[in-house]
Amino acid sequence: MKIFIIGMPGCGKSTFGKELAVKMGISFFDLDDLIVKKGGASIPEIFEQKGEDYFRHIESDCLKEATDTNETFIMATGGGAPCFHDNMDFINQNGISIFLDVNPVTIAKRILSDGVEERPLFRGHNYKTLGGALEEKRKNRISFYRLAQFTFKEDEIDVDNIIKKIKPSL
């Protein structure tokens, strides 16, 4: 069994994925960590030095390499991972997909609190401009996110609740 957590940057994929993995007693991977290892640089450095296209190719390669095992795991994908190189189809063919649908206002607060400079697609934004940038990004990505097998709104994101809902699919 492979579970893929998808959603906007800053929606809590990694935090939630780790909690879910602990509760279910299975491994957790953060796709961003795999990309950093394969790319030999931080994500902001990869974007800066090689560009987004290069990053998206590495991202897709890492997704497929990690999935090409018999191992059971939960993976937090990057926010854009489902939207490039037919990755969403790949995710749905190889496991269970969960979309964490979090309000862009909540996400903006998290990103600003964590440090906007760590997120290449949102660098240079401040409190006034980040909300609009997130709304635009969500509008461009929502058709991919909606392909997830399970969607949980912000107030439904609870480990026990999600396990109960996905259990029949496991």
Annotated binding site for substrate: 32, 56, 79, 141
Amino acid of residue 161: N
Question: Under a CB-based contact definition with an 8 Å cutoff, are residues 60 and 37 in contact?
Answer: no
Amino acid of residue 3: I
User: Of 25, 34, 29, 26, nearest to 14 (Cα)?
Assistant: 29
Residues paired with residue 27 on neighbouring β-strands, in sequence order: 73
The secondary structure element, H or E, covering residue 149 is none
Q: Where is the binding site for ATP, in residues?
A: 10-15, 119
The secondary structure element, H or E, covering residue 75 is strand 73-76
Complete DSSP assignment for 97-114: EEEEE--HHHHHHHHHHH
Q: What is the CA radius of gyration of the chain?
A: 15
Q: Where is the binding site, in residues?
A: 10-15, 32, 56, 79, 119, 141
Q: Where is the binding site for Mg(2+), in residues?
A: 14
